[in-house]
Chains A and B, each alone.
Chain A
């Protein structure tokens, strides 16, 4: 299989990547336009909801959360794979990550930003959201540090700021390249500013390595904790179906899973729109696909653990929720989730599909759909079939306002992501060079060894 050529010229790398900042394929503009439209739909739904009241979302007494929180978890989850690729695999010296980690990290940042929006969209009094921030204030009161929701807010803010920092720090050498190769204009000014005077001296490189490594180490526990905390929003409550000890690992696995699936999707899109065939090779894709397959199986296992734990427990209410999921109003979605989450990834087990781009594109979309359904199936059935039978409500269906905002969030994410890829180098130039260099060295070594053997 064709991988990055070891003899590729560094200048060519620069040129290829810089080209992505200039003229992507037409598809880029189509995607951008669609994203703006979708985002517009979301914004108008929010304006309507803000002015009229949360009721237009068709939420009600038992069903107080709805799609907003489900989609919130979905986006939080998606952020995890960026960290997996950029930080964890960095520490593990997996060099195949190098051409793709940049956009994965951007995905992390933007999906976190999207998730944050859902918190705002969800609260009843958006104009008072600052009450939940711990800052010294005139009223002399603090938020409630006992509330998982507050931990959530803090964890997400920390994770978001660290992710941005990590993305930015990792980009500094490339920004310097862009600065040096860009004609005069606002972008050059921007790169000059952001490159922070990078000159590529040894000392700079040494400090850069240490900083990058430190943030990477810092980010990993953070990533795990963020989704554990999101999981504790549920696990710490008393609602049946949520009050499960295995929720944190289950959430983290789900997060990595959906993130990897999203990376496959974006990989394919970027590869085409920015003509990155040279760098985003199929062999890298194959590795991600295998990783995704492994995580899918972990997720499937944890799912089974959760079902078994509920089924054999004495918690009748939780059991009732599980049965309701499988047989009640939400059954099509729940089985859809099982199908998309556990059956569809079996495609990845076949080597011939591991590099088949159309199949992978379709499959990864299905996986993401499955993971979104999973989040919805955590939220809705528990509310509709909770502890208190009198308030059961099996008929509640999210209104168009909710769907509009979910739709809009995809627009918002795509918009941010696409603009990022156009403005910043979405393939890490210096690391690709490193990779090529290391591979050349390796090649030379093995050639030398071969020769030595003769």
Chain B
């Protein structure tokens, strides 16, 4: 705790998107979600509830918009005014995009949300004072605030239900912000195992809860800097680069035939989640 410490370590405290002097090494967690494979079945969302001790708020609070689902499945319709949804709907799993230059991080007055060396956007519950500025500045609105004290609420976790709580994840009390962590408790456990064996985490060794449950395997998650990882290969095949706000492939006049994109890329949050566009058959 010193001014010099503050000045010297500032860049470490407030590490933003990859810069040349601090590349992501050896980990950069990232995700890719294939919207063509996503069926909108909600298994991921429920897996997230189970893994991360997310409170079920009940009907009344849901009505007030106080739901806590870290992972929500959005359903979009065609907007061309057709009579029937005859091209089906479009589903989009949305959770914290773990932005590299996260809008939420810069505005938190107490630095409760930071960037980790792994390229995650951390949320430190016990530091949070609940100003909710991060949520106000989040373009994706994926941060959820504890409007009530759920751990002591018997409707949410009666004694029996509370035995299901995952001891690796803190149960958030009232007044703090929370959001998807990319299942950091699983990452930490996997890294600890790998570290003891003197290696880095292998591809497939760690899965997020949503990825693990997804019946169609639409979600892949892994270490973007590991060339062996599926995520790395996907990002590369889709020519999506993490530190760009406009991908080279999209600059072509005729557009790209690749499906990879990131939401609100042009606002420069540099999200760590790449989506693959949904495909629809043109022959029918």
Contacts and interface: CB of A to CB of B under 8 A. Distances in A.
Interface of A: 52-55, 58-65, 122-126, 128-129, 131-132, 136-137, 139-144, 146-150, 153, 233, 236-239, 383, 386-388, 390-391, 393, 396
A53 B147 contact: yes
Contact of A54 (B67, B109, B128, B174): B174
Nearest to B107: A147
B264 A55 contact: no
Contact of B175 (A53, A64, A383, A388): A53
Interface string B1-24: 100011000000010000000000
B85 to A, nearest CB: 17
B127 interface: yes
Contacts of B133: 147, 149, 233, 237
Given A136-B1, A388-B139, A65 B111 contact: no
A55 B176 CA distance: 12
B1 A140 contact: yes
Interface in B127-144: 127-133, 135-137, 139-141, 144
A394 to B, nearest CB: 11
A334 to B, nearest CB: 20
Interface in B37-95: 61, 64-67, 72, 74, 94
24 contacts: A54-B174, A55-B66, A55-B148, A59-B147, A61-B66, A62-B65, A64-B132, A65-B132, A124-B129, A124-B130, A124-B175, A131-B129, A142-B1, A144-B14, A147-B107, A147-B133, A148-B107, A153-B109, A237-B107, A237-B137, A386-B141, A388-B139, A388-B140, A396-B64
B268 to A, nearest CB: 9
A54 B72 CA distance: 23
Contact of A124 (B1, B103, B131, B139): B131
B257 to A, nearest CB: 27
Contacts of A124: 128-132, 145-146, 174-177
A233 B131 CA distance: 12
Given A122-B131, A144-B108, A391 B175 contact: no
B110 interface: yes
A73 to B, nearest CB: 14
Interface of B: 1, 5-6, 14, 61, 64-67, 72, 74, 94, 103, 106-111, 127-133, 135-137, 139-141, 144-149, 174-177, 264, 267
A244 to B, nearest CB: 15
B14 A143 contact: no
Contacts of A131: 110, 127, 129
B107 A236 contact: yes
B121 to A, nearest CB: 14
Contacts of B146: 53, 124
A61 B129 contact: no
A137 B14 CA distance: 19
A386 B264 CA distance: 13
A124 B148 CA distance: 10
Q: Is the interface of A mostly helix, strand, loop or mixed?
A: loop
B113 to A, nearest CB: 9
Nearest to A390: B74
Contact of A390 (B94, B128, B148): B94
B129 A128 contact: yes
A101 B66 CA distance: 46
B130 A123 contact: yes
B174 A143 contact: no
Given A55-B147, A63-B65, A144 B111 contact: yes
A55 B108 contact: no
Nearest to A147: B109
Nearest to B57: A55
Nearest to B175: A124
B145 A61 contact: yes
Contacts of B140: 388
Tell which of A52, A144, A396 has the most Cβ of chain B within 10 Å.
A144
A390 B145 CA distance: 17
Given A61-B135, A142-B1, A391-B141, 20 more contacts: A52-B149, A53-B147, A54-B147, A61-B66, A62-B65, A64-B145, A65-B132, A65-B136, A122-B131, A123-B175, A124-B145, A124-B174, A131-B110, A131-B127, A132-B109, A143-B111, A146-B14, A146-B107, A149-B108, A239-B136
